[in-house]
Chain A
Amino acid sequence: MAPKRSAREPTPSSATTAQISSTGAGSVPVVPSSKKAASANQSPQDIALGIWKNYLDATPQRTKLIDVFMSFLVVVGVLQFVYCVIAGNYPFNAFLSGFSATVGQFVLTASLRIQTNVENKAEFSSVSPERAFADYVFGSLILHFFCVNFIN
């Protein structure tokens, strides 16, 4: 169950990472005003286009970097999963650790992204961006230690 389900998890987000980001990084006030009332009857295609444009305009460079990394992880995860479905999961340990490495890293990166988001400052009063990055490194170290240990 797990691999399949969690495999599916990143998939929608891969298509929508961009959308997530469009809302992030202080771009909020911009978005509604640009859409205005005219957006009420737009087709979904238009909406997606508008969001994508906004994302390109309003996201800080660093956050974009994180997003690229996240979409890379999604691609790797999907590839592994497809391989597992097609070619069988024989060294199950290896597949599992590889796959959970991508999922875990994705989640950790998402956490970093959330924590460094200016918008969420109120939620994370005690977590500065530097602290968030240190946490991220700490978490990733543990994650990869376990993965390497598990891979056989």
Chain B
Amino acid sequence: MSDTVAEPFLKGNTGRNTRGILRLSILVLIAAAAIASRLFSVILDPWFNFRATKYLVSHGFYDFWDWFDDRTWHPLGRVTGGTLYPGLMVTSGAIYHALRALTIPVDIRNICVLLAPGFSGLTAFATYLFTNEMSTSPSAGLLAAAFMGIAPGYISRSVAGSYDNEAIAIFLLVYTFYLWIKAVKLGSAMWGALCALFYGYMVSAWGGYVFITNLIPLHVFVLVCMGRFSPRIYVSYCTWYSLGTLASMQIPFVGFLPIRSSEHMSALGVFGLLQLVGFVEFVRSGVPSKQFATLLRGFVLLVFTVAFGGLVLLTVSGVIAPWTGRFYSLWDTGYAKIHIPIIASVSEHQPTAWPAYFFDLNLLIWLFPAGVYLCFQSLADEQVFVVVYSILASYFSGVMVRLMLTLTPIVCVAAALALSSLLDTYLSVKSPEVPVEAGPDGTNGTPTPSKKAAKQDGLRSMRLPIVGIYTTFSKVSVVSALTAYLLIFVLHCTWVTSNAYSSPSVVLASRMPDGSQHIIDDYREAYQWLRQNTKDDAKIMSWWDYGYQIGGMADRPTLVDNNTWNNTHIATVGKAMSSREEVSYEIMRQHEVDYVLVVFGGLLGYSGDDINKFLWMVRIAEGIWPEEVKERDFFTDRGEYRVDDGATETMKNSLMYKMSYYNYCTLFPPGQCQDRVRGVKLPDVGPTLNTVEEAFTSENWIIRIFKVKDLDNAGRDHASASSFDRGNKKKKTIKKRGPKVLRVE
């Protein structure tokens, strides 16, 4: 019945070859699609990584390792080599040198731009391998690879030009998990060692490695609790842990963390637990049960006392570092807002809104539970891993938007499992014919006589376990519906990628009333101005969001940047921005600031500007100087955050407010001055600036740069000097002259 022309190609030995080639070509196509869908707009974005890579390529590895960067964090500088994850730069450096060795002339910039798409192709392949370990169906792996290739949740961090740690980290994440599953299945030390090597690579690439550090021990722990301890698990876990921990300690930034910080303690604890369990299992298998009971009791008591005593002792003596703030914020979403504003101020660290799941994963998110359910049906060790992973990642993705990235792989895998089992059931041409002969007269292959017996004995499906799809109609309808869903999914992914995730933050695109695209290029305009009109070592003060961009595109030293390692320094900048001019001037003089850069969206309606971020600056500054900066002072009596007439005095006098609205009213006819982001009318008389002067304002007023004035020549303070310049008559200050004294000498 299924005799087709292709029949001889799909059976026997030739069939295997054909299928192999088909699979390979499908994988290649998926990788190509994954790469192509990331090329909508190509602009290199995270400038710091690019700068570091250039440094690595031009100075060599050892210099890079000891690189002290004096152009960031201005008075302090930054020991860059010791405070970054070098995996990304080293990878692209290695690719660069490899291509050079093959005499392919290539610019390091091109490698950096195309690294993320290239690695997304590899991620698709790794997902294929991972899924194949989970399922016997060959289609599951291919489906998972395809999903992984185009899922917007992953594309969001890996479009061409987003040269960021996540670009390679997700590939490493999935591949490490694949190696781990392989190690558990085979119980081979080699796979465990490979897993440790890739884990080490992952540690060098992304701070998210902690996810692996906790997930694998959790998997083992769950297995042990389920009573599934086996020598295979002992071999794979102990190999992975002992080698992987050493590997992770090679990265200077990680250093002694694996034995000090609490995030890594679970791995160590499970390592210890496995030693105990392994030992107990050995004894159990040989010693008679009565004696074993005696031994076990004594042993358990001993271990418990020693472990508990040790834990208490270490905690009291403070050897174990307390939990880090970022970790607390994972459990208590309100924690960060209160204690560590610097973490909460990053938009990536906000809790995820629920539509984001659908936006990023679309169809996959409702296939996901089905896939997890299917894992319960044949609950082998590797399926337990999927279950544990999905539970943990679902939770974390709800806590932080950024962690959606770790959820995406498992969603793709689970969805592919669900979908492939559906397709396998409905697409098979042959299978239904077999049970039909059991009941040729029954409508759906269910023999009539057994019906009554079935009713008595419980579920019919339990009695007749032969399940199949019998009519062509149901097959065709289900399969075509699924195909339609998949096509819509592809459409959605393309739409999301081209609209939401392909716009780099330095260039804004907007639509004109006639529908044509209008590019707003203020950032680059301003950075270019800085590059051409300022001294080479002019220090730029801005909020930290723009630090990397200024460093990379304008090539000027900055006070703070996106690597937020020093909270105090950031708070200093926050204080300078939120204080009165005279206070700020002192701070700026102390830090040798030459220019101040603010982002202002009022004219254009660009909501990501500094006035909207201003409260974070205030909060962070308040964390360090609670007496001098008070968040309450920036709210009106009724608790409103206002920038118009009703703004508080503190607000109106803050440097940030003054710089943002300086001269803004002159753009409008009197009485119509309007802020389009906040949607409020502004007072007609704008703020005056004494200690800084306007140096540059970009086309759409998004970037405004102010020059910090030098000390006055005549020794006046800036307020009186500028009021003199404005032509105000100097207020008569009554000079107190002492009584005339006759000079004797």
Contact = CB atoms under 8 A, between A and B. Distances in A.
Do they bind each other?
A: yes
Interface of A: 1-6, 8-9, 12-13, 16, 19-20, 22-24, 27-28, 31-32, 35, 39-40, 42, 44, 47, 51, 92, 96-97, 100, 103-104, 107-108, 110-112, 114-115, 117, 119-120, 123-124, 126-127, 131-132, 134-136, 138-139, 142-143, 146-147, 149-150
A32 B291 contact: no
Contacts of B285: 23, 28, 119
B187 A150 contact: no
B246 interface: yes
Contacts of A31: 286-288
Contacts of A16: 279, 283
Contact of A115 (B187, B193, B246, B258): B187
B287 A127 contact: no
Grouping DSSP codes into helix (H, G, I), strand (E, B) and loop, the B interface class, with mixed when no group exceeds half, is helix
Interface stretch (B133-141, B228-236, B494-502): B228-236
Q: Which among A32, A51, A107 has the greatest number of chain B C-beta atoms within 10 A?
A: A107
Contacts of A3: 259
A126 B242 contact: no
Contacts of A143: 242-243, 246
A9 B16 CA distance: 49
B189 A20 contact: no
Interface in B204-262: 230-232, 234-235, 238-239, 241-243, 245-247, 249-250, 256, 258-260
A4 B283 contact: no
B186 interface: yes
A20 B258 contact: no
A28 B241 CA distance: 30
A115 B235 contact: yes
Nearest to B265: A1
Interface of B: 186-190, 192-193, 196-197, 230-232, 234-235, 238-239, 241-243, 245-247, 249-250, 256, 258-260, 265, 268, 271-272, 275, 278-279, 282-283, 285-288, 290-291, 294-295, 298-299, 302-303, 306-307, 310, 314, 319-320
A6 B288 contact: no
A147 B235 CA distance: 20
B277 to A, nearest CB: 12
A85 to B, nearest CB: 12
B282 A23 contact: yes
11 contacts: A1-B268, A1-B319, A2-B260, A23-B283, A31-B287, A39-B290, A92-B256, A111-B189, A111-B238, A114-B234, A134-B190
Given A31-B288, A104-B246, A108-B239, 8 more contacts: A1-B260, A4-B314, A19-B286, A47-B287, A134-B190, A135-B189, A142-B193, A146-B243
Contacts of A115: 187, 189, 231, 235
B193 A139 contact: yes
Nearest to A55: B286
A13 B246 contact: no
Contacts of B290: 39-40
A142 to B, nearest CB: 6
A23 B282 CA distance: 6
A100 B259 CA distance: 11
Contacts of B314: 1, 4
Contacts of B193: 135, 138-139, 142
B203 to A, nearest CB: 12
B310 A20 contact: no
A138 B190 CA distance: 7
A146 B247 contact: yes
Closest 3 CB pairs of A and B: A23-B286, A2-B259, A104-B242
A72 to B, nearest CB: 17
